[in-house]
A and B are shown apart, each in its own frame.
Chain A
Amino acid sequence: MRITTLLTTVLACGLLFSQAAIGGKYNAVLNIGDAMPEFTDLPDISGDKISSNDLTESVLVLVSLANHCPWVRGMDQDLVKLAAQLEEQDVRIVGLSMNHREDDRLPAMKKHAEKNGYRFNYLYDETQQLGRQLGATRTPEYFVFNKERKLVYMGLLHNSPGKINSDGSVNYINGNPNEFYVQQAVAATLSGDTIATAETRAHGCTIKYVQ
């Protein structure tokens, strides 16, 4: 009996450890089904401070952004369009910036949001704690959480990442996008359906963490 209990405990610990060490398919920290990391008083471009407890919507979409990143700028309007489409639904979008470059800090974030028509919270994670807990390494990278704040999707916005050119035009890698992963994940979560694609390989700039 005691041996069985011991073996079960060892096995359970092993599973827990392997889960924590592996993370997701493309994420070293977080996996589908994991709880959303809590955060407190992150400064928003509005001047408010936002905590995870303030976010009460049924679905929460966190997205790592970086003003300087050509892939973020290339898909800014796709994000703005997504926010408009979800505006009437019980969904909250929150942008996050973690880099310490001047052009990714709060003053630049405010200008970038105004210029590009962001109508959602855009928080600066200066300590990079939330970014680390999310395992966010690229911009843009999307994380969709359900009402219980369990991760249900992470990765790309859609299947054709777009990069902005110096003349302001956008090159989409695979032509016009035709699979909208975040929208699908949000819709499935709201309706209680299964999410067809729960994880994709996000494509974009690497977030630089202080080591």
Chain B
Amino acid sequence: MLPQKHAHMVAPLSMFNKHRRIIGFTLWLACGCISSAFASTENTASKVTFVPLQHTEWLEQLGTYKPNIVVVDMWATWCASCLEEFPKIVDLHKKYKDAGVQFVSMNLDDHNDQPSLENAEKFLQKMNAEFDNFWMNENLMIAFEKLNLIGIPAVIIYDRNGDERYRLTGDDPNNQYSGKDIEKAIKELLAH
């Protein structure tokens, strides 16, 4: 059962054929561009989006960010460290949003867990996460596999060509990342 609150965005993905899904996704992208253009007239809450994606759509979405540097924060409401680290992402977004750096959050709550997804959206609004916020609309274990994730929080950073350059994780006990590592990576990519 898909979350009712997001059903208007999810229903086309499950009901229509592949071509219609692509058209729907393209329309969503177009709407996103239009809404961004009029962002200055909106209130703070409406600037925070929270959109479901499947992995193939996520890869398409990543391609649209070129030639920006892309910083992707993988998080979930069940992950205490993710919630603690999230304000750093918001701060970095404010600092680098006009420097050609696109910030994105990818939520990894269970796609069938409506209360958690609603909490995730509330959290994003509370954080004023005024960048692209997605949630992975797939089985959670499969999503981790497809994203090649072992644990979260994790931050993946892509260069201007869309190539993955940094994967900051907690997967090695002796080399877990901090907020400083994210900014260091951004500065290094901006310098080239």
Query: Which of B4-12, B15-23, B150-158 lines the interface with chain A?
Result: B150-158
Whether B91 is near chain A, meaning CB under 8 Å from some CB there, is no
A16 to chain B, nearest CB (A): 18
Task: Name the contact of B110 in the complex, choosing from A28, A135, A171 (C-beta under 8 A).
Answer: A171
A41 to chain B, nearest CB (A): 21
Asked whether, in the complex, the Cβ of B171 is within 8 Å of the Cβ of A173, the reply is: no
Whether B41 is near chain A, meaning CB under 8 Å from some CB there, is no
How many residues in A have their beta carbons less than 8 Å from beta carbons of B? Answer: 32
How many residues in B have their beta carbons less than 8 Å from beta carbons of A? Answer: 25
Contacts of B170 in A (CB 8 A): 137, 206-209
Asked whether, in the complex, the Cβ of B151 is within 8 Å of the Cβ of A137, the reply is: yes
The 10 closest A-B pairs by CB, nearest first: A28-B172, A206-B170, A206-B151, A132-B173, A209-B173, A70-B78, A173-B140, A138-B151, A26-B150, A137-B171
Question: Using a CB–CB distance below 8 Å, which chain A residues touch chain B?
Answer: 26, 28-29, 68-71, 101, 128, 131-132, 135-138, 161, 163, 165-166, 171, 173-174, 201-209, 211
Supply 17 A–B pairs (Cβ within 8 Å), ascending by A: A69-B80, A101-B80, A132-B173, A135-B172, A137-B150, A137-B171, A161-B141, A163-B110, A165-B115, A166-B115, A174-B139, A174-B141, A205-B79, A206-B170, A209-B173, A209-B176, A211-B178
Question: Using a CB–CB distance below 8 Å, which chain B residues touch chain A?
Answer: 78-81, 110, 112-113, 115, 139-141, 144-145, 150-153, 170-176, 178
